[in-house]
Amino acid sequence: MIYILLSICCSVTVAVLLKLARRYKINIVQTVTWNYFFAIIFGFLTFKPKFEDLTLSPSPVYIALGILLPLIFWFLAASIRNIGIVKTDIAQRLSLFIPVFAAYFLFKEHLGVLKLSGLIIGIAAVLCTLIKPQQGQSAKINWLFPVIVFLGFGTIDILFKQVSQIQTIPYTTSLIVIFSLSFLVSLVSILYLRLIKKEKLELINFICGCILGTFNFGNILFYLNAHKALADNPSIVFAVMNMGVIIFGSLIGIVVFKEKFSKINYIGLLLALTSIIIITLSKIYAV
């Protein structure tokens, strides 16, 4: 259980760092780029991949993830800045419904009563959580960020499930390959901003990237270790991780950052937790 708690702490810390980035004028594109650079280093030091595995031709799935990861990371940061940690965390965590829908519509898996109930409650949770008494064009734009986070992380989850099916190289080595591709994509972005937009490369963004990369990699490492430690109970890892991030992230957002929540937003929070519990039960009992 300690691995799950550490993974939750790392995940919420990433959100907090992205929240603070705006206050201290940290460049997100540069920070995310160096985040992947340090994640690659940590990956080599921790997983010790074989060189011959790294030189295999990357699967199209790897390339898709290499592009999507930094892109959705930028939208994640924008969502946290504009609507807060709580609502963004809920949108991110409830993106797990997209792979469930994909499994039903694309792979014709059975959609039982519990799973269907969880999905319906989850959709209601997203709608209730994101409702905000704000009008105008800015409100519509702010809505886009968590929606893109929701769709983006759901798509990423589907792609990572496909990566886990690849037998030719270890999953941890695949992670390093994907991080490397994400770093290259991000590097092209900051080179564009530097050469075309004349944006300065600053040391503070490199340092922040190191910190962000440490916690981002820690989240992945502890989550994988949690699944190893509780190999017979993957649903427990799934439930505690998602619920823990929502609860802990909500406490940080509401108490520390004073994020405003209406009554219907609180109802959305409760529905999100209920939905995750029901989805977890559907995994255990296959109903």
pLDDT classification of 237: cutoffs 50, 70, 90? confident
- CA triple 47-54-149, angle to 5 deg: 75
Amino acid in the structure at residue 182: S
Please say whether the beta carbons of 116 and 287 come within 8 A: no
> pLDDT tens-digit profile of 139-180?
566 778 999 999 999 999 989 988 988 888 899 999 999 999
Cβ neighbours of 225 (radius 10 Å):
16
Amino acid in the structure at residue 260: K
Helix boundaries (H) for the chain: 2-23, 28-47, 51-54, 60-83, 85-93, 97-105, 113-130, 137-164, 171-195, 203-229, 234-251, 263-285
Helix boundaries (H) for 165-262: 171-195, 203-229, 234-251
Mean pLDDT, the chain, as a whole number? 88
Please say whether the beta carbons of 72 and 147 come within 8 A: no
Structure tokens at 134: 């704000």
| pLDDT number for residue 69 | 96
User: Is residue 138 predicted with pLDDT exceeding 70?
Assistant: no
User: What is the Cα–Cα distance from 107 to 147, expressed in whole angstroms?
Assistant: 24
